[in-house]
Amino acid sequence: MFEIFGMDSGLLLSQLLIGLVQGCFYALLSLGLAVIFGVLNIVNFAHGAFYMLGAMLAYATLTYFRLSYWWALILCPVVVAAAGMLLERTLLRRLYRLDHLYGLLLTFGVALLLEGAFLNAFGASGQPYRPPPELEGGFDLGFMYLPGYRLWVVGCALALCVLCWFVIERTHMGALLRAGTENSKMLQALGVNVPALVTLTYGAGVALAAIAGVLAAPVTQVSPLMGSNVLIVIFAVVVIGGMGSIAGSVLTGVGLGLIEAVTKVVYPSFSSTVVFLVMVIVLLVRPSGLFGRTT
């Protein structure tokens, strides 16, 4: 293989493909976080816990109920969405008129409770989760061997991101959601059940986190700590893209995954902090984020 800027091209291309997979996880997780903030104005610190919950439920359905990966991909987001809607109706709804800090503290507490419960039940060690037989194997690209499951993750995550963008930007339901963020009282005066709309939106947001958890289960070991490990990076992605920006979250998530991958080749010890350096630079130049609206 030839060299690009002094780097082996095969190594660089393989890292870019790995970064694309990681970036798709970032995009899917930050998408749910952006949807919730855009409609509810809640900084959902429980998002990582719902991501972990999706993966743990996938592991539980396989271990205890012998349900396949495909059933887990359908059932786990539904269960997590129901739990999220219950949380919104019983606790979060009481905080909408208060300062954002109250919602952040509540969701942070919920995250700690969920993480502690699963740590007590399963321990801190990770559990393996095999990909479905249909997606085992891979493709020899010459410079690397690409597992078929990782290709599925990229396609599924990007398809969900495009679908969510289309629903929010091009459908009547999306128009209602955008109107609710601008003037919820006017929308309710026009006969729209705004509380139900908000509940469904929160459920959809945490369902996206659960889908990301199920997709991640065969890639990374399933652990109660997996949500807290990725949460801070996801918040950085949302801040860089612009709080509440759907397109910003998706494009920034994929872009930062690629930047992180290149950094692992150029300067590996800096790869874990490059995301936060990018966040600092973006906030200095454009405090509202790359795709955020200035106020």
User: How much is the pLDDT for 5?
Assistant: 47
Please say if the pLDDT value at position 147 is more than 80: yes
Tens-digit pLDDT profile for residues 261-277: 989 888 888 888 999 99
Out of 45-49, 138-142, 182-186, give the one with best mean pLDDT: 45-49
The structural domain count of the chain equals 1
Per-residue CA distances from 118 to 22, 64, 76, 123, 256 (Å): 24, 15, 16, 7, 30
CATH number for position 208: 1.10.3470
Residue 170 lies in a domain: yes
Residue 55 lies in a domain: yes
Residue 91 lies in a domain: yes
Residue 290 lies in a domain: no
Please say if the pLDDT value at position 24 is more than 60: yes
Residue 147 lies in a domain: yes
User: How much is the pLDDT for 293?
Assistant: 66
Cβ-Cβ contacts under 8 Å for 12 (sequence gap 6 or more): 4, 262, 265
- Would you say the C-alpha torsion 278, 279, 285, 288 has a positive or negative sign? positive
User: How much is the pLDDT for 223?
Assistant: 93
Please say if the pLDDT value at position 180 is more than 80: no
Mean pLDDT over 264-292 rounds to: 89
Domain housing 80: 17-285
Residue 268 lies in a domain: yes
Query: How does the average pLDDT of the chain come out, rounded?
Result: 88
Mean pLDDT over 24-28 rounds to: 93
User: How much is the pLDDT for 176?
Assistant: 83
Residue 295 lies in a domain: no
Residue 113 lies in a domain: yes
